[in-house]
Amino acid sequence: MTFPWIRERANQRAVFPLNFPNHNRSFDPSQRCVLFWGHAATIEVTFQVGGDVLQGMSPGATDDEASILGAFDSHRSVIETTARSVYDKCGKTFCRLYPADF
């Protein structure tokens, strides 16, 4: 039986669509990155995007937490679209987003 909301990967593993039902995100000062979460069915997927990536998207952003989170919030839709693409390729529960992904 096939369900239309499940896609198959090339390796025949089922992939559920990735959604971002909440807008929680947090700044990790030790790694200068933002963590955020998506959900594919009942699986939680953690994403990490570096401050350098966010500063590249918002050139006026500085190294402080408020500025990095502000850059993330300003580009959330692009970041979530990129996160979906990265997740579709790897299917792992932890994905780091790199400048090349954008």
pLDDT at 73 (0 to 100): 97
Sequence ranges of the domains in the chain: 26-97
**What pLDDT sits at residue 90?**
85
CATH of 26-97, one of 3.40.50.620, 3.60.90.10, 3.30.160.140, 3.90.930.12: 3.30.160.140
Tens-digit pLDDT profile for residues 59-86:
989 989 999 999 999 999 999 999 999 9
The whole-model pTM stands at: 0.82
CB 95 within 8 A of CB 87: yes
The H or E element spanning position 18 is strand 18-19
Tokens of 66: 């408020």
Could you list the mean pLDDT of each consecutive 10-residue stretch along the chain, which spans 102 residues?
Answer: 48 70 94 95 94 94 94 97 93 94 94
What local confidence, expressed as pLDDT, does residue 41 receive? 86
Structure tokens at 17: 């669509």
Q: How far apart are CA 33 and CA 49, in angstroms?
A: 6
